[in-house]
Amino acid sequence: MYYRTGTEATTTPDATATTEGAPATSGISNMLDAAEGAADAIEQGMGGAGAVVDTPADETPTPTSDSTYEDGTYTKTGAYVSPAGQETVTVSLTLENDIITDATFTGNATNPGSVRNQSKFAEGYSTLVVGKSIDAVALTVVNGSSLTGIGFMDALDAIKDDAKM
């Protein structure tokens, strides 16, 4: 095992060995632990298994009679640029008193990478949208899909324009 005490490095088969009364520390072991921690953080931040970076608010907004948007169902297409080129998504939202009561998302990509990212987005977006005020929705990375949220927000902005009273 490799460990360092003071300024000298020593190898020993016993990871618990000490030199000059100092406990042995494994530089490689510490680096591996740090790398695993970084990988876990990246996986969560980049949308590893089940990761949702955008998190739903703990409280559901209370509808008011001072609605800004007209109740109804609205469907719009949003666009964004991926490494594969221009991509689009179709978003349909149902509004009641400015609250999104239902949402559907359709990815329109044909590039395999974009199809995969749009599918990951589709698996996690609804809990971040349904039951929320339309003005409170601001999606970025969902289940590791970072660019699809741009297309979703583009469609949401067009829906706001159409639904505005």
Q: How far is CA 44 from the centre of its chain?
A: 8
Tell whether 63 is covered by a domain: no
Tell whether 56 is covered by a domain: no
Tell whether 105 is covered by a domain: yes
Task: Indicate whether 38 and 80 sit together in one domain.
Answer: no
What are the backbone angles phi and psi of residue 32, rounded to the nearest 5°? Answer: -65, -40
Q: What value does the mean pLDDT of the chain take?
A: 77
Task: Indicate whether 76 and 157 sit together in one domain.
Answer: yes
How many domains are contained in the chain? 2
pLDDT tens for each residue of 126-148: 999 999 999 999 999 999 999 99
Tell whether 62 is covered by a domain: no
Task: Indicate whether 9 and 76 sit together in one domain.
Answer: no
Q: What percent of the chain has pLDDT over 90?
A: 59
pLDDT tens for each residue of 77-124: 999 999 999 999 999 999 999 999 999 999 999 999 999 999 999 999
Tell whether 134 is covered by a domain: yes
Please tell me the distance from the alpha carbon of residue 102 to that of residue 66, in angstroms, as a whole number: 20
Greater pLDDT, 163 or 41? 163
Q: What is the CA radius of gyration of the chain?
A: 24
Task: Indicate whether 92 and 159 sit together in one domain.
Answer: yes
- pTM assigned to the model: 0.64
Task: Indicate whether 86 and 137 sit together in one domain.
Answer: yes
Task: Indicate whether 99 and 147 sit together in one domain.
Answer: yes
Tell whether 53 is covered by a domain: no
Q: Which domain holds residue 126?
A: 72-163
Q: Mean pLDDT lowest for which of 3-7, 59-63, 142-146?
A: 3-7
Tell whether 50 is covered by a domain: no
CATH number at residue 97: 3.90.1010.10
